[in-house]
């Protein structure tokens, strides 16, 4: 296993910059997820680690060695592809053992090792079949087995679970998590599914338009999203964002917006700096921190727009006077009717504020970002 | 549904027209099947009576004609090997590499290919081949055929390879394979159905090609079957129908067999050969 480092890596395709001066340091044995919407540069970043793309500028290091210009075969890495890329003319055993074949291992050794790895992944009885003769989940395991069959310094995953149905995806996710811990592998995992990233990663790098917006452990990303982009991307459903106008009154700040009542906040250093740039801020509060309330203090008002029952809890969405929507995750027992006027209440400590540029305003006493 | 009289008549008329048209095309084929077995075959259609192989006996006695089939085979196989290897490598490179303007290269080649093998270029081709000292050799015929077929073969194959995900070779290279290993172990087997289609198409073209060997070959021992067929014409230039029919049947059998074999073994699928 080895560490991976990006040093000011840029990759352009013609006039399009897919990855823009990215610095990233991944420790030995870490499980890092590159998370972002399609086109954010996460897959290109992964492919540069694999050597399938060459950076336009910058350096990539694996285990401290500069591998920027190295051919993929010389990097001692493994990669699981989104489409699995199983060779249709080889049976499962030969598919799994292919990396050993190119390493010049003997037929018996290859077979024994393929058998062993296939056993761990519970596809041991499929070895003589062709890829077209097994199910999607089994194909996924085969491609994983092919990545595990030889010693690697870094394991790369390019949305490996996106072609599986929901139940299999959960199962495979759990298995991957277990496997990574067991082997202590350095894993870099590309996904656009925030739940997958939260569940698997030791650290998540959230990417947007070729840049890393935030690189932190999942809980940090969840609790302290660096920008409105992260806030809006992570969480299911994501954080509610409401534009508010701030007015300083002595050493407190009053925030106001249509239908929003909020007790004045103390004027922190961060808020002071944000207000210097302009009075428009964004108030963020997670759906799970909202509840239906009668009280006017610290609440958002509107008309109930939708009520989706998810079993023990429900997602209720209100439409505010300016037609923007706010979603709350509440207990199904808290009965509300669509069309009713409702208020969603929240505790002041659950409020996250973003400045005019969309950057989170740190609270007092909290280390700066 | 009830048809009005004009509709009914127009349907009858159309069916009659289609039947006549079909018959016009079917008659030569029927002649083609019957005449070889008829010792007194003429241009007219007749059932063989008696059914005989005597025409074939005479044809097999004509060593020049039989040798011509071998020449056809040499030319076909030779051109197919050149086209198969060159088109596969070129199409693979054009599909996978990121050379700017690679699309234009293919289209310009395609445009010129009709010129290379077309009659317009026959004089310059003759002069070039003659300057190379290759007149009256199978090598010349193979090279000229291959040159004419290559662009189209490349075009078909490139489109085919474009449709195959790059991740096959990428996964092989990440797993430790060199580009050459990845090509032979992974890409080539996946591309094979496309190559088979191109190879068969090229073979059929060469097998049936007349003008190129007719111009580039001088001695009768070198003639392929498509040219040697003229040895069944009398001095006065009239065809000896019986022998011509028998020889034509023999001449066409390999092509039919090839089509049947490929369609049985691979199926004719032009995987995205031409984009709609």
Provide the pLDDT for residue B141. 94
- Is the pLDDT reported for residue A188 higher than 90? yes
Q: Quick check: A72 and B174 CB within 8 A?
A: yes
For residue A143, the surrounding DSSP H or E stretch is helix A136-148
Average pLDDT, chain A: 91
Q: Quick check: B170 and A72 CB within 8 A?
A: yes
Pairing of strands A280-285, A299-309: unpaired
Contacts of A103 in chain B (CB under 8 A): 176
Provide the pLDDT for residue B272. 35
Give the residue extent of every domain in chain B: 5-52, 63-265
Do residues A158 and A80 lie in contact, with contact meaning Cβ atoms separated by under 8 Å?
yes
CA atoms within 13 Å, Cβ hemisphere of A54: 6
A272: closest CA of chain B, how far (Å): 52
Could you say which residues from 91 to 150 on chain A have a Cβ atom under 8 Å away from some Cβ of chain B? Answer: 98-99, 101-103, 143, 146, 150
Main-chain dihedrals φ then ψ at residue A345, nearest 5 degrees: -100, 155
- Over range A197-225, report the average pLDDT: 95
Q: Is A323 exposed, middle or buried (0-12, 13-18, 19+ CB in 10 A)?
A: exposed
Which CATH number among 3.40.50.10260, 1.10.3720.10, 2.40.50.140, 3.40.50.300 corresponds to the domain B63-265?
A: 1.10.3720.10
Which residues have C-beta within 8 Å of that of residue B249, sequence separation ≥ 6? B32, B33, B36
Q: How many whole angstroms separate alpha carbon B154 and alpha carbon B91?
A: 5
Provide the pLDDT for residue A37. 93
Q: What is the pLDDT of residues B161-180, one digit of tens each?
A: 999 999 999 999 999 999 99
Q: Which of B209, B215, B160 is nearest to B188 (CA)?
A: B160
Provide the pLDDT for residue A369. 42
Provide the pLDDT for residue B268. 56
- Over range A348-366, report the average pLDDT: 87
Q: How many whole angstroms separate alpha carbon A226 and alpha carbon A213?
A: 7
Average pLDDT, chain B: 86
In this structure, the number of other CB atoms found within 10 A of the CB of residue B127 comes to 10
Residue carrying the six token digits 């923007």: A324
Q: Quick check: B176 and A51 CB within 8 A?
A: no
Residue carrying the six token digits 């400590």: A349
Q: Is B43 exposed, middle or buried (0-12, 13-18, 19+ CB in 10 A)?
A: exposed
Long-range (24+ apart) CB contacts under 8 A made by A210-213 are: A210/A17, A210/A18, A210/A19, A210/A20, A210/A22, A210/A40, A210/A41, A211/A20, A211/A21, A211/A22, A211/A41, A212/A22, A212/A23, A212/A24
- Is the pLDDT reported for residue A274 higher than 60? yes
Q: Closest CB to B175: pick one of A51, A82, A146.
A: A146
Q: pLDDT band at B115, cuts 50/70/90?
A: low
Provide the pLDDT for residue B100. 80
Q: In this predicted complex, what is the ipTM?
A: 0.84
Give the residue extent of every domain in chain A: 4-231, 238-354
Could you say which residues from 62 to 101 on chain A have a Cβ atom under 8 Å away from some Cβ of chain B? Answer: 71-73, 75, 77-79, 81-83, 85, 87-89, 98-99, 101
Lowest mean pLDDT among A187-201, B29-43, B212-226: B29-43
Q: Which of B76, B97, B78 is nearest to B158 (CA)?
A: B97
Looking at residue B185, the DSSP 8-state letter turns out to be I
Provide the pLDDT for residue B64. 85
Assigned token pair, B95? 């599909």
Q: What is the pLDDT of residues B201-244, one digit of tens each?
A: 999 999 999 989 999 998 888 999 988 888 788 777 788 888 88
- Over range A325-331, report the average pLDDT: 92
Q: What is the pLDDT of residues B58-106, one digit of tens each?
A: 888 888 888 999 999 999 999 999 999 999 999 999 898 877 888 787 7
Q: Considering all CA atoms of chain A, what is the largest pairwise distance in Å, rounded to the nearest integer?
A: 80
Do residues A328 and A319 lie in contact, with contact meaning Cβ atoms separated by under 8 Å?
no
| Domain A238-354 homologous superfamily, CATH | Nucleic acid-binding proteins (2.40.50.140)
Q: How many whole angstroms separate alpha carbon B239 and alpha carbon A24?
A: 82
- Is the pLDDT reported for residue A44 higher than 90? yes
Q: Which of B242, B211, B241 is nearest to B226 (CA)?
A: B211
Q: How many whole angstroms separate alpha carbon B154 and alpha carbon B133?
A: 29
In whole angstroms, how far apart are CA A332 and each of A315, A345, B34?
9, 16, 85
Q: Which of A22, A11, A4, A3 is nearest to A44 (CA)?
A: A11
Q: Closest CB to A99: pick one of B170, B176, B178.
A: B176
In this structure, the number of other CB atoms found within 10 A of the CB of residue B24 comes to 9
Residues in chain A: 369
Provide the pLDDT for residue B86. 95
Residues in chain B: 276
Do residues A134 and A91 lie in contact, with contact meaning Cβ atoms separated by under 8 Å?
no
The residue among B174, B187, B191 with the most chain A CBs within 10 A of its CB, best to mutate, is B174
Lowest mean pLDDT among A81-95, A115-129, B26-40, B162-176: B26-40
In this structure, the number of other CB atoms found within 10 A of the CB of residue B262 comes to 17
Provide the pLDDT for residue B259. 84
- Is the pLDDT reported for residue A253 higher than 80? yes
Contacts of B167 in chain A (CB under 8 A): 81-83, 85
Provide the pLDDT for residue B269. 53
Main-chain dihedrals φ then ψ at residue A224, nearest 5 degrees: -130, 70
Q: How many whole angstroms separate alpha carbon A104 and alpha carbon B102?
A: 36
Contacts of B186 in chain A (CB under 8 A): 87
B63: closest CA of chain A, how far (Å): 45
Q: pLDDT band at B273, cuts 50/70/90?
A: very low
Question: Would you state the CATH architecture of domain A4-231?
Answer: 3-Layer(aba) Sandwich (3.40)
Provide the pLDDT for residue A367. 55
């Amino acid at each position: 296993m080895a560490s991976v480092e990006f040093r000011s890596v840029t990759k352009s395709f013609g006039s399009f910059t897919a990855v823009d001066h990215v610095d990233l340091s991944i420790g030995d044995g870490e499980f890092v997820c590159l998370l972002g919407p399609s086109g954010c540069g996460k897959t290109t970043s992964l492919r540069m680690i694999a050597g399938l793309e060459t950076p336009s500028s910058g350096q990539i290091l694996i285990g401290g060695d500069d591998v920027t210009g190295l051919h993929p075969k010389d990097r001692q890495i493994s990669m699981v592809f989104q489409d699995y890329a199983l060779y249709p003319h080889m049976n499962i055993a030969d598919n799994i053992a292919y990396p050993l074949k190119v390493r010049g291992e003997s037929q018996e050794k290859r077979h024994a090792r393929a058998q062993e790895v296939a056993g761990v992944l519970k596809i041991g009885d499929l070895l003589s079949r062709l890829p077209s003769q097994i199910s999607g989940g089994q194909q996924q395991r085969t491609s994983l087995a092919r990545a595990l069959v030889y010693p690697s310094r870094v394991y790369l995953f390019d949305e490996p679970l996106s072609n599986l149905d929901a139940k299999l995806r959960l199962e495979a996710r759990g298995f991957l998590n277990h496997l990574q811990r067991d082997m202590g592998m350095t894993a870099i995992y590309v996904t656009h599914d925030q739940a997958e990233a939260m569940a698997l990663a030791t650290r998540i790098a959230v990417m947007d338009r070729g840049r890393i917006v935030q690189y932190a452990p999942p809980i940090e990303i969840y609790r302290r999203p660096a920008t409105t982009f992260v806030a809006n991307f992570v969480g299911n459903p994501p954080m509610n964002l409401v534009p508010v106008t701030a007015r300083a009154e002595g050493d407190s700040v009053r925030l106001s917006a249509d239908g929003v009542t909020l007790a004045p906040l103390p004027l922190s250093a961060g808020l002071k700096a944000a207000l210097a740039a302009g009075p428009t801020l964004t108030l963020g509060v997670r759906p799970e921190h909202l509840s239906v309330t009668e009280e006017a203090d610290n609440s958002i008002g509107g008309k109930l727009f939708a009520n989706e029952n998810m079993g023990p809890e429900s997602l209720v969405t209100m439409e505010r006077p300016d037609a923007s929507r706010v979603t709350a995750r509440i207990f199904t027992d808290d009965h509300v009717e669509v069309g009713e006027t409702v208020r969603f209440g929240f505790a002041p400590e659950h409020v996250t504020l973003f400045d005019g540029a969309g950057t989170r305003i740190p609270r007092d006493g909290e280390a700066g970002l | 549904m009830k048809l009005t009289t004009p509709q009914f008549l127009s349907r009858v008329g159309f069916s009659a027209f289609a039947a006549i048209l079909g018959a016009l095309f079917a008659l030569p084929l029927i002649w083609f099947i019957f005449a070889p077995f008829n010792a007194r075959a003429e241009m007219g259609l007749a059932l063989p009576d008696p059914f005989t192989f005597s025409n074939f006996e005479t044809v097999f006695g004509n060593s020049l004609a039989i040798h011509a089939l071998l020449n056809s085979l040499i030319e076909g196989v030779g051109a197919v090997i050149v086209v198969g290897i060159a088109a596969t490598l070129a199409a693979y490179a054009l599909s996978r590499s990121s050379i700017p303007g690679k699309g234009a290269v293919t289209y310009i080649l395609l445009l010129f290919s009709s010129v290379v093998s077309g009659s317009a270029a026959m004089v310059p081709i003759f002069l070039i081949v003659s300057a190379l000292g290759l007149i009256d050799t199978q090598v010349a015929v193979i090279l000229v055929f291959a040159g004419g077929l290559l662009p189209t073969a490349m075009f078909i194959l490139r489109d085919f390879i474009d449709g195959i995900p790059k991740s096959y070779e990428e996964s092989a290279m990440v797993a430790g394979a060199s580009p050459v290993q990845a090509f032979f172990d992974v890409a080539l087997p996946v591309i094979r159905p496309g190559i088979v289609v191109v190879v068969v198409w090229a073979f059929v073209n060469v097998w049936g090609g007349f003008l190129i060997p007719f111009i580039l070959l001088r001695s009768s021992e070198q003639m392929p079957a498509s040219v040697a067929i003229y040895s069944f014409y009398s001095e006065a230039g009239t065809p000896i129908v019986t022998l011509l029919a028998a020889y034509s049947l023999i001449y066409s059998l390999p092509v039919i067999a090839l089509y049947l074999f490929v369609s049985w073994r691979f199926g004719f699928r032009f995987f995205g050969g031409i984009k709609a």
